[in-house]
Structure 1
Amino acid sequence: MTDDWLVLDPGEAVEWAARPRLMRAAPAVVASLVIAAVALGDAAALDPLALVALLVAPAPGLYGYLRVVNTRFVVTDRSVHRKRGIVGVDIRTVELDRVQNTRSARGVLGNAFGYGTVEIEVAGGSDLRFYDVYDPDDVRRLVERLSGARESIPGTVEQWRAVRDELRAIRRLVDAQPK
C-alpha cells in the first residue's frame, strides 16, 4: 500500500498503513449524479444547452474519489506519516518521540460500521489526523505503544528523591515567609 513517496530509514519497518474509507467520496459522487440528472431534465424540458452541464457533472465525483485514493496514512516503528493531495502533494512526517497524546473519535455511523478518526497531538507543531480509518482504537493504541516505547524517565531514583527533598525545603521556606 505504500508508494515511492514513503522513504524509510534503514531498519525502519511499516507497522500499519491505510487510506480513508472509500465511502468518504460518496457525497461527491451523489453531487455528480444530481448535476447529471438536473442537466438531463433541463435539456429534455427546457434548453439543449443544459447538456453542457453533463460535461461538468463527473467533476465532483472524480475529485472526491481521487482525493480518497491519493490519501495515505502510515505508522512505522519510528514515525507517523500522512500523504494527501491530487495535483499538489502534501506529505507530513512526525517522529514518534514528538507524539504527546493520541485520541480516537467515532460518530454514530462510525460506531455502527467500525470507523473513526485518530488524532495525534504533536509537540511543537500542529496535530495530525487520520480520518475515516477502520478500527481507530487499534491505531491509537499502536501509536501510543510505539511512542511510549522510546520514552524513559531520565535520572535515577536517588536523583529524583534529591529533587523532591529540595522542592520540599523550598516549599517550607515559602510557607514560613510572612504574608
Structure 2
Amino acid sequence: MATDLSSESSDTAASEFDWLTLDDGEQVQWSGKPHVYSIVPALIVGLPLALFLIGIPIVVGAYLNRENTVYLLTNEALYRKSGILSRDVQKIEFEKVQNISYSQGALGNYFGYGTVDISTAGGTGVEMQFRSVPDPKAVQQRINEQSRRARGKGADDRSTSESPEQVLEDIRTELRAIRRAVEAGGRDATPTDPEGDDGGRN
C-alpha cells in the first residue's frame, strides 16, 4: 500500500501520523507500508501449524508487524516507523543520502514488492530499509529525485548565504593579495646595468 500525499497540506498529511514531527516547511510527499502479500510466507508456515496452536503466533506476528510499519518521504527526509509493542522511528535527511538500490526475491518479483536499501555518506553500509514495499523501482526513483532536489536546494542556499558586502570584501582581499605578490616580485628582481654590460664587452 502506498499513498501520494504531495497534493495535501502538511497539517492534513501529518495528522495521519501521530508519531511524526515535521520541521518548519517540511511536507509529507509519500507514504507506504509492506505489501499485503509479504505475509504469504508466514501464512504458508503458520497455517499448517495452527492446528497445533504453534502457527498462530507466527501469522499474528507477521500481520501486526506489517500493520505497524510505515515508510514515509517528506521534501526533506526519509522516515521508517516500526514496532508492535514499542515504537522505533528512524530518520535520514536527503542531503545525507548517497546510494539507493532495490532488490526483489522470487515471491517479491511475482507479487510486485521488494526491498529498497538506503546508504548514507560516511555510513557503514545500508542505514535504512523499506522492506517488502510495493513497486520498489518506483520508490527508488522517487527517493533519487527528491534527494537530487534536496542537494540542489542546499547548494543554492549556500551560494546565496553571503551578502553582497561579503562578496565585495572577499574581492578586495584577493586584489590586495595579488598586489602584494606583484610588489614583492618587483623588489626581488635584479636590475640590469647597461654600462656594466658594455664594460664587459670592452
CA apart distance, 1:106: 2.1
Equivalent position SS for 1:150? helix
Equivalent position SS for 2:151? coil
Q: Are 1:29 and 1:62, in contact at CA under 8 Å, matched by a contact in 2?
A: no
How far does the alpha carbon of each residue in 1:110-161 deviate from its partner, in whole angstroms, 9 at most, with x for none?
Answer: 3333221111111234521111111111111111111112325688xxxxxx
Q: Are 2:68 and 2:81, in contact at CA under 8 Å, matched by a contact in 1?
A: yes
Q: Distance in 2 between matches of 1:104 and 1:36?
A: 34
Match of 2:71 in 1: 73
TM-score (norm 2): 0.61
Aligned length: 139
Write the letter of the residue equivalent to 2:142: L
Write the letter of the residue equivalent to 1:135: D
Q: Distance in 2 between matches of 1:135 and 1:57?
A: 29
Match of 1:102 in 2: 100
Equivalent position SS for 1:143? helix
How far does the alpha carbon of each residue in 1:92-121 deviate from its partner, in whole angstroms, 9 at most, with x for none?
Answer: 001110101111222333333322111111
Q: Distance in 2 between matches of 1:102 and 1:133?
A: 14
Q: Are 2:96 and 2:121, in contact at CA under 8 Å, matched by a contact in 1?
A: yes
Using the TM superposition, name which of 74-83 and 10-19 deviates more: 10-19
Write the letter of the residue equivalent to 1:89: R
Match of 2:120 in 1: 122
Q: Distance in 2 between matches of 1:25 and 1:100?
A: 30
Write the letter of the residue equivalent to 2:111: F
Q: Distance in 1 between matches of 2:142 and 2:44?
A: 35
CA apart distance, 1:15: 1.4
Equivalent position SS for 2:141? helix
- Segments of structure 2 that go 5 or more residues without pairing to the other structure are 4-15, 160-202
Q: Are 2:114 and 2:131, in contact at CA under 8 Å, matched by a contact in 1?
A: yes
Q: Distance in 1 between matches of 2:105 and 2:47?
A: 26
Match of 1:88 in 2: 86
TM-score (norm 1): 0.68
Distance change (3 Å), C-alpha of 1:108 and 1:61: closer
Q: Are 1:77 and 1:146, in contact at CA under 8 Å, matched by a contact in 2?
A: yes
CA apart distance, 1:57: 4.3
Q: Percent identity?
A: 35
Distance change (3 Å), C-alpha of 1:110 and 1:101: same
Distance change (3 Å), C-alpha of 1:73 and 1:34: same
Q: Distance in 2 between matches of 1:62 and 1:109?
A: 20
Give the 5 Å matches for 1:16-165. 16-37=30-51, 39=52, 54=53, 57-125=55-123, 126-152=126-152
Match of 2:172 in 1: none
Larger radius of gyration: 2
Q: Distance in 1 between matches of 2:84 and 2:17?
A: 14
Equivalent position SS for 1:91? strand
